[in-house]
Structure 1
């Protein structure tokens, strides 16, 4: 698993350093060709598939990697999360030290992570095709095995169906009450509105966005009665969706925190081709 973490980092290296001769227009190999830095940093890369010995395997839904300009890569192998350092020389990347979590995973996901670890070892060659928000990254081993990744733009605040996945109280995050998963959601409109479901009742109201804050006006909702856990979730969400709240988006995750310290976590559906 440690190998797979470092391997994913490899792709991070692609965009962390300029090749030798950068700025001079010379690739340094005597050909006079211009060396350009591969555009891989600051991009959320979804792992699409892994090909080993000619056999292609589709990646788990959450497998991804993000690379920052300092050469640090973070992401998910499909189940376990990782961080790692990388070094790059032109289109060749060398995996540095890294860490990974050690959760137990479903058998098929674990098999993929193991295969990914074996493929991501030693020196990898990186190639990027496409442009804008629709790029593809291919990492190839010396043996010809490869991993395919595609870029995915961050989810916008407005127009996205955010599914509530957790609650926060101060610095403590908790899961939703049992039996309420997939019941609470919210969508912000471009005109300063918000609507959705609280776990039991549906609601709508005003939500003025300014900088990194959202100010909620009084919400109007239906008045059904539901089983205890759903009403518990509803009361918790109403305590967040009132007055001024701070918000932040991390690609497909949304965090809302009220001045009281109560908050929620929500996720957006994966982008479709």
Structure 2
């Protein structure tokens, strides 16, 4: 492998573990982006992983709460979650399904478990919106598992494309402002996979089962379960699973490079806009 080729590969710029916390009505989760170690990774504002077999850890769900100015992406691995909002929209997230909600100018919604026992597992990602889109009408992109394409580019490699292109397949989610990539990758023991990420995107890999090496040659670094790797350097991603195999999400997005004013469920560009969001919510304009 030549030096020039190696230089094209993305490297692990930093690596971190999430922090145990709770949200909603006591739902236990791990906050990976949005905490003190990694407050954000433009355009990504938050990444939570939730996963438990204990109903008491999730049964309270996420009762009515507001959002304005960004997008929430919920990807379910196990369990069922019912969504409702104050605009009359309702949907059910099932294992393998994804909901990409653009809150825009504001809505009030709830996400409540549709089960009283069993495993609940998945991710919620927050994606910022550019200033020009923050006050747009709310919208949803919802897809069941049967509509999300899966490609097997090599033996022992399986990639589900939620957003972005993998070979000839394209994930169903579209967002021109950030041109996101969201892939769920499964590698059998020892298997490797390479994928070109869009140039200039900020990107991360979050390993949620097993362990894998990211990078090529001497720059390769092992990342274990429940660790997030922020990528840097080149745009060619190389993943290789360790002895037990691995599952990971690969996420990338075009940075917005805009000022961020955020507090709780509101993300705007200025403090004045942020304060207006609180006033609008309190006065029932969501």
Place the TM-score, normalised by the shorter chain, in its bin. under 0.3
Q: Which has the higher strand share?
A: 2
Higher RCO (CA-CA < 8 Å; seq separation 6+)? 2
TM norm structure 2 = 0.24
